[in-house]
A and B are shown apart, each in its own frame.
Chain A
Amino acid sequence: MTLDKKKNMDDLDRKIIAATQSGLPLVKEPYQAIAQQLNIEPELLMQHMRAMLKTGQIRRIGAVPNHYKLGYTANAMSVWNVPDDKIYELGQQLGALSFVSHCYERPRFLPEWPYNLFAMLHGKSKDEVAEKVQEVVTLLGEHCAGYELLYSKQILKKTGLRLKEPSPK
């Protein structure tokens, strides 16, 4: 996908994203290395990246573990039916649990899809995930009107999201 026409990104931000989306260089002064590549002052690069962190355009800077390699081989999408007027409070609590990686409110489609709270759960076995589900059941208590677990059977497609380099003007 390309985002070259978006207003809320300036050209330099776009270049910074293109230069860092595959990762930070493993050298003692990584920001200097990127700045050199972009032909800008390191301080300017760091200013822009700090600004993107502040606006949330950069979620965080850090390591992304391969959860399968760490032994987390049981990964379920759990879906919960909770009252709309309680969802903010419950969503915050659910998202704070250490075994939840993503937690969102999504729309229901009644009657066939009553679930409005989604959380990805990760464990080292299906038994472990089942225990964690019980923790969530306890946490949601009387507010939970039903839930289901959807284990993935097969990855049918997975492509990285890549921004294009800004095109020269």
Chain B
Amino acid sequence: MDELDRRIINYLQGDFPIDNSPYQIIAQKLDISEDELLKRLDHLLENRTLTRFGPMYDIQKLGGSFSLCAIRVPANRFEEVTQIINSFPEVAHNYERDHDFNMWYVLATESLAQIDITNQSIEDKTGLKVYNMPKIQEFFVGLHFQA
């Protein structure tokens, strides 16, 4: 990754135009050719420096529901409980964290009601209390990593 790659990454964390020739617009701003920009982007995606390039959709605004949930899992049941939680297709992510609240998963469902139904089912199967922590307000979501 060289200086130009860094400039491209930093620049493209802003807003990409919706226009007939959007790459041309960005290339001009970066003072490089359109071909060079396309080649660089292809390479950055290829080597996984970028995980994605394109529109970021807000699933919640499209009608789906999300929630972050936490459980305190006793150490001797960690593997068993992981298997139970991960078996639910509604569980999109699940992380072990260094805390008494040691399991944190994200539910993604088609409706708000399904969040509660899924958590009830998880409580029934694990016998553990689920702490459902859906967002109340969003202050910021984004990535402004300096490359």
Contact = CB atoms under 8 A, between A and B. Distances in A.
Interface string A32-76: 100000000010001001101101111111111111011010000
A9 B12 contact: no
B98 interface: yes
The prevalent SS among residues of B at the interface is: mixed
B19 to A, nearest CB: 8
Nearest to B88: A157
B139 A94 contact: yes
Nearest to A55: B61
A77 interface: yes
B137 A6 contact: no
Interface size class, chain A? 35 or more
Interface in B72-119: 82, 85-86, 90-99, 101, 103-105, 108-110
A152 B105 contact: no
A79 B22 CA distance: 39
A15 interface: no
Summarize A's interface: helix, strand, loop or mixed.
mixed
Contacts of B137: 87-88, 91, 104-105
5 contacts: A6-B63, A8-B63, A29-B20, A29-B21, A113-B70
A162 B58 CA distance: 12
Given A29-B21, A59-B57, A154-B96, A64 B52 contact: yes
Determine the interface band of chain B, counting residues with CB < 8 A from chain A: 35 or more
Contact of A28 (B24, B45, B54): B24
A50 B95 contact: no
Interface in B110-141: 110, 131-141
Contacts of B136: 104-107
A104 B139 contact: yes
Interface of A: 1-3, 5-9, 17, 20-24, 26-32, 42, 46, 49-50, 52-53, 55-67, 69-70, 72, 77, 87-88, 91-92, 94-96, 98, 100-107, 109, 113, 118, 122, 148, 150-159, 161, 163
B98 A151 contact: yes
Contacts of B91: 157
Contact of B18 (A61, A77, A101): A61
Given A32-B20, A153-B96, A104 B109 contact: no
Q: Which of A1, A23, A57, A67 has the most CB of B within 10 A?
A: A1
